[in-house]
Amino acid sequence: MFGLMVRFTCKDESAAVEFDSLVARTGEQIRANEPGTVIYAVHRVDRRPLERIFYELYRDRDAFEVHESQDYVKDFLGAREQYLSSTEVDLLDFVSGKGVNLER
pLDDT in tens, 39-87: 999 999 999 999 999 999 999 999 999 999 999 999 999 999 999 999 9
pLDDT for res 95: 87
pTM given for the model: 0.90
- Please provide the size of the chain in residues: 104
pLDDT bucket at 96, cuts 50 / 70 / 90: confident
Computed over every residue of the chain, the mean pLDDT equals: 95
Task: Answer yes or no: is pLDDT of 30 > 90.
Answer: yes
Map out the domains of the chain with their CATH numbers: 2-92 (3.30.70.100)
pLDDT bucket at 103, cuts 50 / 70 / 90: low
pLDDT for res 65: 97
* Nearest-5° Cα angle at 57, 91 to 8: 60
**Region for residue 61 given its phi and psi (left: phi exceeds 0; alpha: psi -120 to 50; beta: otherwise):** alpha
For the chain, counts of helices (H) and of strands (E)? 3, 4
